[in-house]
Structure 1
Amino acid sequence: MKTIVVIYCHPYKKSFNHAVLEKVLQSLIAQSLNPKVLDLYAEQFDPVYDLEELRLFHTGQTHDPLVTEYLQALKDAAGVIFITPIWWNSLPGMLKGFIDKVMKEGEGLSHTVSKTGIKGELTNLKRAYVLTTSTSPTFYLRLFCGNAIQKIFIHKTLKQLGVHSGKWLNFGGITNSSLKRRQRYLQSVTKMSFRF
């Protein structure tokens, strides 16, 4: 059974993001996939890159046990799903800190650096799904805010880490959305066919 890491980044358990998480887990289990949830807020992950963490960076080491646990989970998985809000047109600081701290340089870790660039080591992650919510409409994020999730996070950051296929799904305009529209979206998530 393939293990899929689900990285969940929202502090409020009654949020729409949490409802998305529950539906994603239902869908993965129905497809005989084994979800492993990394709940960054609930697990009190510290996204701050302190001086000691920086000192250890080039050795591939860390003084944060969650960093070791999270990186190993990613190395053992077949795919990854991010569930997060979009705040100020980009990823929340918590999730950015996750990328900064967990993605360690070194052979057998998340990436290696050479004279020609970064080589991703997480090639075991066949695909990434990024499920987001936003106050802004999706077209606004794509056309007027630089399309940061697709262009930077999926096509640059994840690709540099070795994840060469990614899909972004955003529920835009959440603040003014109707209950019916939110329910329809959650039903569609439950029926999603995740391909890894």
Structure 2
Amino acid sequence: MKLLIVYTHPNHQSLSYAFLQKVLEGSGENPNIQEVQVLDLYAESFHPVLEFNEHKRRRDMHIDPRLEKYRQQIRWADKLVFVYPIWWGRPPAMLLGYIDQMFAAGFAYRDKDGLFPEGLLAGKSVVCISTMKGPTHYPLFWLNNAHKVLMKRALFQFVGMKKVKFFEFGSMESPKGRHAQKLDRVYRYFQTIAQ
């Protein structure tokens, strides 16, 4: 199995970074995982802003040469792992900008007759590891599960990725947030995951 980890947090002293380290540690001990690549969007200075004009059209985004490196990473990976905080009930704008550009028509999906498109990333699986200040069940009860619906239904399933696993950790700024247990849970998952 080949893992692409997309890490989205500007601070390498953050709890998100600690989760990234646990993903790497567990993956390094798992004989089912042959290769791992990390894409740190902030360190990469990824440009998240969509730009369309008379020279750059949206329908050509899937062949934009500036994004080819990132398309190759997604093609290469069997499993995509996203590590990010939840800010204002959704992923950071940096990650959403990556999603807007990378999951483009012609690369991630193809329109066809009927309601749903053909997902061109079928067969790949996804793990989302997110942290937030609010309580764990806040997105479920106050936001109608908007974060998971956005990521799973509106994005991943739309492009053919049916297997999506969430680690959505709340109360992460609280001294009672049980950080060590949550970090260990992620470590053990990647240490033993088979596919």
TM-score (norm 2): 0.90
The equivalent residue for 1:145 is 143
Higher relative CO (Cα under 8 Å, sequence separation at least 6) belongs to 2
Q: Deviations over 1:66-103 (max 9, x none)?
A: x2111111111111111000000011111110110112
User: What are the residue-to-residue correspondences of 1:118-133 with 2, within 5 Å?
Assistant: 118-125=117-124, 127-133=125-131
Query: Runs (4+) of structure 1 moved beyond 6 Å?
Result: none
The equivalent residue for 1:174 is 172
Q: Are 1:74 and 2:74 an aligned pair?
A: yes
| Structure 2 unaligned regions, length at least 5 | none
Secondary structure in 2 matching 1:12? coil
User: What are the residue-to-residue correspondences of 1:16-165 with 2, within 5 Å?
Assistant: 16-32=15-31, 33=33, 34-52=35-53, 55-59=56-60, 60-64=62-66, 67-106=67-106, 109-116=107-114, 117-125=116-124, 127-165=125-163
The alpha-carbon deviation at position 185 of structure 1 amounts to 1.4
The alpha-carbon deviation at position 114 of structure 1 amounts to 2.0
Q: Cα–Cα, structure 1 residues 173 and 104, in superposed 2: closer, same or farther, change >3 Å? A: same
The alpha-carbon deviation at position 54 of structure 1 amounts to 8.8
8 Å Cα contact 1:61/1:104 also seen in 2? no
Q: Cα–Cα, structure 1 residues 30 and 53, in superposed 2: closer, same or farther, change >3 Å? A: farther
Secondary structure in 1 matching 2:19? helix
The alpha-carbon deviation at position 53 of structure 1 amounts to 9.9
Farther off after superposition, 44-53 or 151-160: 44-53
Sequence identity, in percent? 26
TM-score (norm 1): 0.89
Counterpart amino acid of residue 134 in structure 2: S
Counterpart amino acid of residue 83 in structure 2: I
Secondary structure in 2 matching 1:185? helix
Across the aligned residues of Structure 1 and Structure 2, the Cα RMSD in angstroms comes to: 1.8
